[in-house]
Amino acid sequence: MEPIRLMPFAKLSGVAQMAADEALLATAADAGIASVRFYTWAEPTLSLGYFQPAGVRDTLPPLPWVRRSTGGAALVHDRELTYAVALPPGRAWQPAGESWLCRVHHWIQEVLADLGAAAEPVVCGRERKLGDVLCFEHQTAGDLVSGGAKVAGSAQRKLRGALLQHGSVLLHRSGSAPTLPGLFELTGRDIPPEELAARLTAKFATAFAVTPGDWTADEVELREMLAGEKYGSPAWNEKR
């Protein structure tokens, strides 16, 4: 099996989390090292998709915010588990007959079923758009839904053939996005993010040789640069 690093679980600001995800993508592209990590957010945070205009914030709660390097609509990150996987270029990292989005979502679906919080994927032709701004109001093919509500979605970015995919599993309703129920409201299951992360790590271990890892000195330096000069900069966040 191909090796993949399991990075430390982290609870950080939105700026720090987006910088960390991009640093893993750079490592995958430049050094051929695959990584996966799970994290939560230090405070309720809004992230805008790469192509969204900054003005959409006027329709959303006044929260700390950051622009993602991936596409899609706005997310209110609060009572959720977020994952990121960064994969090098090459055929060895391409699942046969299944996209990475569907592969990871199937693992999430299996884990949630084991925890008594059943969800099912949206299939083509059943997409629903319930709002114009928030990602979890837009159900697209491959997303996971429970009780008619979206509970998991992901987005991607490529760099020199390497792939970054990150996504969120909504565990509880956020006071900053009260129209979006989480798995607790939909299924009655109170799932700690650390437990969900551990179970998803076990799913990754069915396909990869998972090894606990840590940030290299070069990655720490890159994270700090990206946080200060990109994700923490108005020039990036307000570029659209």
Instruction: Compute the distance between CA of residue 154 and CA of residue 81 in angstroms, rounded to an integer.
Output: 12
Q: What is the pLDDT of residue 24?
A: 98
pLDDT in tens, 59-81: 898 999 999 999 999 999 999 99
- Contact (Cβ atoms closer than 8 angstroms) between residue 60 and residue 107: no
* Overall number of domains in the chain: 1
Domain that holds residue 200: 3-237
| pTM value > 0.85 | yes
pLDDT in tens, 76-115: 999 999 999 999 998 778 776 778 999 999 999 999 999 9
Helix-then-strand count for the chain, H and E:
6, 14
**Greatest alpha-carbon span in the chain:** 47
Instruction: Compute the distance between CA of residue 238 and CA of residue 187 in angstroms, rounded to an integer.
Output: 38
- Contact (Cβ atoms closer than 8 angstroms) between residue 170 and residue 180: yes
CATH number of residue 34's parent domain: 3.30.930.10
Residues catalogued as catalytic: 135
